[in-house]
Structure 1
């Protein structure tokens, strides 16, 4: 996975071959296929690791603050621009590839996004308990809509497809979501 990530960081593309990954990692094809049956499985595992590790960090940063602040922090983290050209290349490559994974491996891709969705559900539940979010909210679809809004806005920015000639920022998403959650 480190080799695939390095290639992504250098090129911003996922059209590399399994052979390129094997050569970069100084392993064998047999070793690769003992862990992954396809390049798609490798990239899914990479996205899974990135999302799992990110969600753990985000949870640690949001657990001890009131729900509205936790939601703002989370949306800011999800929608933050890349901190380096390498990270920008990785984001760009994986953003393009996410559509392919969602299409070819929908259940696996949904599982990969699940930790973020659960974190958003937890924040909404906390907000309902605190009285800062509408107690009548249906948490599951609301969390999914918030997650999709944040990821969709990030996708537009990464791909350079702003609809209004200006990228959506975390504050735009947060303000939109907060209005939907208000009592």
Structure 2
């Protein structure tokens, strides 16, 4: 049976096409298995953190919970720090998606920023484990000091969202003169998250999401919002 006209007999490098297909199929299968193993480690770590309410766990606990080997763990992660970083990046990415969906429910650009600021403040607070995916407050603070480049990568999805929202304010002539959208996004996001992660240190009168919004809004808008 003659090969179909659109099926080349060899690749540009001269390697038989059937061989390349076989290798690609094998590589894809190995990649899927690796992804499944990684997910099992991540799920195990998440379950342990949910039970303990802290990131204070050992690699061996994760290995035992995942029912995989220590050797397999170190094939995918350098150690606990890299595992926590993966969990943190995943949490930040998912939170950005959820906040974007929340913002989309608002028609006014200022209201979109408001709901994102207030919700980010709430989910970043360390004392709301019952309603939030942990944002690893203690780990995030350590990461900011010891691995700032890794922190920037983890924060990229949130920063992208805030930048988009600030660009919408700019288009609506609501962004303060001389302020760039990205600068406003970074300052607002950092203000919200730092204060949320420090929540509880103000004694009997902790900062609220409404106060954070009022402070941020009056910092980056042309005129103070009325609501």
- Asked if structure 2 preserves the Cα contact closer than 8 Å seen for 1:128 and 1:135, the reply is no
Give the structure 1 partner of residue 198 of structure 2: 156
Give the structure 2 partner of residue 24 of structure 1: 65
> Residues 101-132 of structure 1: CA distance to partner in whole angstroms, max 9, x if unpaired?
22332211111011111211111110110122
**Are 1:176 and 2:218 matched, yes or no?**
no
Q: 1:36: how far off?
A: 0.9
Aligned 1:5-154 pairs, distance under 5 A: 5-63=46-104, 65-80=107-122, 82=128, 84=130, 87=132, 90-91=134-135, 94-154=136-196
Q: 1:177: how far off?
A: 1.1
RMSD value, Cα = 1.9
Q: Which has the larger radius of gyration?
A: 2
- Asked if structure 2 preserves the Cα contact closer than 8 Å seen for 1:120 and 1:143, the reply is yes
Q: Which runs of 5+ in 2 are unaligned?
A: 1-41, 223-227
Quick one: distance in 2 between partners of 1:79 and 1:132?
Answer: 22
- Asked if structure 1 preserves the Cα contact closer than 8 Å seen for 2:53 and 2:129, the reply is no
Structure-2 change in CA distance of 1:10 and 1:83 (3 Å): closer
Which of structure 1's runs of 4+ aligned residues deviate more than 4 A? none
State the number of aligned residues.
Answer: 176
- Asked if structure 2 preserves the Cα contact closer than 8 Å seen for 1:66 and 1:127, the reply is no
Structure-2 change in CA distance of 1:109 and 1:124 (3 Å): same
Q: Relative to structure 2, which stretch is displaced further, 108-117 or 8-17?
A: 8-17
Structure-2 change in CA distance of 1:83 and 1:13 (3 Å): closer
Q: 1:135: how far off?
A: 4.4
Q: 1:83: how far off?
A: 6.0
TM-score (norm 1): 0.87
TM-score (norm 2): 0.71
Quick one: distance in 2 between partners of 1:62 and 1:127?
Answer: 13
Residue aligned with 1:80, SS: helix
Q: Which has the higher contact order (CA 8 A, sep 6+)?
A: 1
Quick one: distance in 2 between partners of 1:133 and 1:67?
Answer: 11
Quick one: distance in 2 between partners of 1:13 and 1:25?
Answer: 18
Q: 1:33: how far off?
A: 1.3
